[in-house]
Every structure is written in C-alpha cells, then in structure tokens.
Amino acid sequence: MGDKSVIKKKDYLEELEKLTVELVKLQEWVKAKGLRVVVLFEGRDAAGKGGVIKALTAGLNPRYARIVALAAPTEKERTQWYFQRYVAQLPSGGEMVFFDRSWYNRAGVERVMGFCTDDEYDYFARTVPGFERMLQDAGIILIKYWFSVSDEAQEDRFKDRLKDPAKRWKLSPMDMTARSRWIEYSKAKDAMFGFSDLPDSPWNVVDADDKHCARLNVIQHLLSSIPYEDLTPEPIELPPRQKAKGYARPPIDSQRWIPRVYPREKKAKKK
C-alpha cells in the first residue's frame, strides 16, 4: 500500500538539494530583473500537487514566493467577474506565485459538480485563452502543470490517507463524491485541454504516479522554462562580533522557558 518510488530516498534527497540551490538562483534572478512568474498546478485529487509545491518552495524566500490556495468563493465573490479574485493574487515585480488550484476550477470541479451554469462555463471556455494572453502581454511568465495519476495510484493514496491520521484531513466530502464521477472528471479535463492547451499557453503534463520523480521532474522543467543566471555573491568574511562591554545577560531563571520534552544532545551556549 502507498507509493513506492523507483528512486531511492537518499538519491532523491541529494538531487532535491541540488535543485533547491538552483531554485534559489532562479528566485534571485527573478528578484533582480523584476520578473513576474505565475505557476498553476492542476490535476486529479491525490495527484501530489501539494507535495511538489512544498518541495519547490521549501528553500525559497517567502517574501518573494507565495502559495495561493483559495477557498470556495464567498457570496460577494460570486457576484464578481470570475477572474477577479485570482487577479488580486497575481505577482508584483520580483515575485513568484504558485497556484494550488486556479481559475481552472470552473472547468473541473465546478463543471462536474454543477457549481456553475452552462452559460458561465461557456463564457469561461471562450475567454480564458484571451485572459491568459493578456497576462502574458503584460509581461507575466505563465506556466501550467497538469498532474496525471492512474486510478490505481490514486486509490492507493486514498487508502493511505484513511490509515494515516495526519493525512485523513485531506479527504474532503468533495473527494468522496469525485470518486463516483471519475469518467465525468476525465471528460471535463479533455474538454478543458481542447480550449486551453494552446501553443502560447500550453499544459505541461506530469506523470505523477511516482511522487518523488514527479517532484524532481517538475522542478527541472520549471528551471528550464525560465532562463536565469547565477547571481550568487562572492564569499565574504564575517565582521568581528561586538564584545560585551558593560553588558550582563539576565539570569536564566528570570525567563519563561518552554518545557524541554526533547533534551538536547550537548550543552550549547545560548545566543
């Protein structure tokens, strides 16, 4: 039960560490050049989108790398232009924004579950190519990923979540309903690709059956999609630390320490 990767955990972590260094270089380039980057993550439930986003952003500066995972629209948002709440999340210069689900909710869950009307869906299908072209014309770098997972792999992950209390929260009532509508979701995805998989704004499909390989492959693809240069500063020497002249640290017992449930291995000088 669960995922068995073709890559050893040790090798995966070593490669991820190397790629994380390159992601930091990419972020520094994006900051220096004032670029605006939007990355969309879509796909089946339990396809591993969240794990990829975590792996991507773990080493990045959160001031310039944001994860956007919007909840269901409010009553007020339902009266707005459909793209409006997503536009509010777009990056400023020097930022990278990662959408965990995006405006393509309309072509997926909203379409299948009847959360939008036929007219609303048709409007989205007609206008989303122009909307994305408008973003790109404004200088935004847009990259779209679709995570493809087999029904066998998805079933294993669902069962793994049921066993693990730390993962059980990931199974929402919507996920349970989606299980009975596998074919409908497949048809909705095919229709979505029909009007949104375009030469200037293509879907990059990820084989997500192996989570570890999917993470590495996506990071490699992202790095290759945005030309960047290494702006790593030259090595520097730390200046001498100020000496404690006329300063005495307050007594240790004058501070409120948290319980030491996990004792440290060796005594270290507090800073």
pTM (predicted TM-score): 0.87
At residue 113 the predicted structure's pLDDT band, cuts being 50, 70 and 90, is very high
Strand order in the sheet with 203-207: 65-68, 95-100, 36-43, 140-148, 203-207
Question: What percentage of the chain exceeds 70 in pLDDT?
Answer: 87
Q: Could you state, in order of their start, the residue ranges of all structural domains in the chain? A: 9-225
Cβ neighbors of 133 (< 8 A, separation 6 or more) are 200, 201
* The CATH number, out of the four listed (3.40.50.300, 1.10.10.60, 2.20.25.240, 3.20.20.80), of the domain defined by the range 9-225: 3.40.50.300
Residue 120 has pLDDT above 60, yes or no: yes
- Between residues 140 and 246, which one has the greater pLDDT? 140
Query: For residue 48, which of 163, 145, 143 has the smallest C-alpha distance?
Result: 145
Spatial separation of the C-alpha atoms in residues 213 and 229, rounded to whole Å: 25
